[in-house]
Homo-oligomer: A and B are copies of this chain.
Amino acid sequence: MTSTAVYFDFLCPYAWRGLELADVLRREHGLTFVLRHFSLVQGNHPDNAQSRHVPVWWLTDQGAGEGSEAQAGSLRAFLADQAAARQGEDARWAFALALLRARHQDRAELTPDTLRAAAGQAGLDLSRFEADLQDDAARRAELRDDLAAAAELGVFGTPTFVLPEGHAAYFRFANLVPAGQALETWKLYVSVLESGARIETIKRAKRA
């Protein structure tokens, strides 16, 4: 495996910044990333408090539109993203970024209208997108694979990057990284994970 996996949730502003960073790295620096889904609603669900690794409550078992707005919206967005993925890697990145920007830059809710607008912006074949969305069981199965892999890895937040060498870590930063600083920022993160000190956590304290 030579790709870095990145687990993300459309609900998460840090995932948005992480994917913007990864997109620069893949377009301008030849790195490869595989997009995968982790659900914050599932990860933080009280029924799953026992173990990060053995979810009892699965987002993929919930009906469309059920639960909180975050639950319904994130399920809808994940399934749409799985549908977009069927149109190729570049189309999928374009869709995911369009939807993340709509949510976190423009403060749109993850409604069917927002999803359709993102699909249009990303230049997807819209009739194919709708048809792939109709195959709900197949999209849910794909999402379930991602959620199961995330549980196995112990993902707890997004974005979490899994390097080809196996290092896996949540990487949360508050500022969008300018394209000119993307590689340096990425190398810093990788250096932390590869340090001989076996760094497990760097986490800021928040003042009162």
Contact = CB atoms under 8 A, between A and B. Distances in A.
Contact of A204 (B53, B174, B197, B200): B200
Interface residues of A, number: 44
B170 A198 contact: no
A3 B72 CA distance: 50
A27 interface: no
Contact of A169 (B52, B198, B205): B205
B172 A204 contact: no
Contact of A200 (B152, B167, B174): B174
A189 to B, nearest CB: 6
A177 B202 contact: no
A207 B154 contact: yes
The copy count of this chain in the complex is: 2
A160 interface: yes
Contact of A201 (B53, B168, B175, B203): B203
Interface string A134-154: 000000000000000001111
A202 B152 contact: no
Q: Which 3 A-B pairs have the closest CB atoms?
A: A53-B208, A173-B197, A174-B198
Interface of A: 17, 52-54, 151-157, 160, 167-175, 177-178, 181, 185, 188-189, 191-193, 195-208
Given A188-B191, A202-B202, 7 more contacts: A170-B202, A170-B205, A174-B197, A177-B197, A181-B197, A185-B195, A201-B204
